[in-house]
Copies of this chain bind each other. A is one copy, B any other.
């Protein structure tokens, strides 16, 4: 059900031939105008759909989302912007809304213009199929190197009723935590003020999608979007308080589930690890260290081999660019305390090896310099990652 689980949304997909096979155009349409918010990639190379969707969402309103897979419409200059605007206009014409109410997203190869004939045909074929059951089809149509769709539904209490959040996402490579990572679409039948919607989305993404890394390569096309239909017959969430907290925490839960699915489906991933840094002076330093460890090719290949090679973790902590007293650093693999004050402890190698067989693998780094902490999810670096990416365009 995913994005069509909340009341007020329909979805559909079409196979337009942009990808070699399978559905590649997805539509998500609300029954009426929704309050809406989004966060976008921090990459300075921003794809045309990112530029256009940012413009369209400036007023905090949206009616529909159109997504294509197979072509990122990035590095495509003015033509790319025209194409992205035309995608929005085509959908607007079909469903009867302003083009500015349509969010546009693309994912796939960079540097190639959108095949607009295929986009037009895909949209024309998808619109008549829009339905309350279309969420699963849409979730499949937005995938590229993903091996499986990523959807979730979270219910939460709101003013005596039950409201719902639905979500779908794609993402497997070019995944790094830097604002909205990958494409993620959230819907809810709660009514939420656009300003609060944006705040809740930023908080949810900061505690989920910005805390995953597959390869450290932040994409040009990342966006996370939330649409609130207000179809549940309760008063709108217009200010902070209990209702806002319920919504935000449900949105965060949905975003975390989606984030877990993405890192678990990371290109070539065979294992998932959580890197946690404790005892930092400030959270940003904890996050920076966690990210450096999580993106180290040597740490990621050790995860692949199930090798409790904690020296590589220590080396990554040391090069993270944070002023750390290495002579106080403790390391844990799972529950095994492997290093204390920057040097090896006497530990059971067999237990450490078992810690690398857990799911997720838990790497904990204790700095003993303050009270701030941070964490990130990552996956291993395998032959599969090389296979997928050595010949992606071929």
Please report the C-alpha to C-alpha distance between residue A53 and residue B235 in the assembled complex, in whole angstroms. 71
Is B389 within 8 A of A386, CB to CB?
no
Known: A216-B296, A297-B216, A326-B45. A314 touches B389 (CB 8 A): no
Within the complex, which residue of B45, B110, B304, B344 is in contact with A111, where a contact is CB–CB below 8 Å?
A: B344
Please report the C-alpha to C-alpha distance between residue A173 and residue B343 in the assembled complex, in whole angstroms. 22
Known: A178-B319, A344-B112. A392 touches B314 (CB 8 A): no
Which of A54-62, A95-103, A305-313 lies at the interface with chain B? A305-313
Within the complex, which residue of B75, B382, B388 is in contact with A314, where a contact is CB–CB below 8 Å?
A: B75
Does A257 belong to the interface (CB within 8 Å)?
A: no
Please report the C-alpha to C-alpha distance between residue A342 and residue B390 in the assembled complex, in whole angstroms. 23
Closest Cβ–Cβ distance, residue A48 to chain B (whole Å):
10
| Complex interface: chain B residues within 8 A of A361 (CB) | none
Is A75 within 8 A of B307, CB to CB?
no
Is A344 within 8 A of B392, CB to CB?
no
| Complex interface: chain B residues within 8 A of A393 (CB) | 307, 309
| Complex interface: chain B residues within 8 A of A310 (CB) | 110-111
Does A113 belong to the interface (CB within 8 Å)?
A: yes
Does A324 belong to the interface (CB within 8 Å)?
A: yes
| Complex interface: chain B residues within 8 A of A129 (CB) | none
Within the complex, which residue of B297, B314, B316 is in contact with A297, where a contact is CB–CB below 8 Å?
A: B297
Is B178 within 8 A of A77, CB to CB?
no
Within the complex, which residue of B296, B297, B307, B311 is in contact with A74, where a contact is CB–CB below 8 Å?
A: B311
Does A332 belong to the interface (CB within 8 Å)?
A: no
Is B390 within 8 A of A307, CB to CB?
yes
Identify 7 new A-B residue pairs, CB closer than 8 A, beyond the known A43-B315, A113-B344.
A72-B311, A75-B314, A111-B338, A111-B344, A297-B297, A301-B389, A304-B386
Is B315 within 8 A of A392, CB to CB?
no
Does A89 belong to the interface (CB within 8 Å)?
A: no
Is A217 within 8 A of B315, CB to CB?
yes
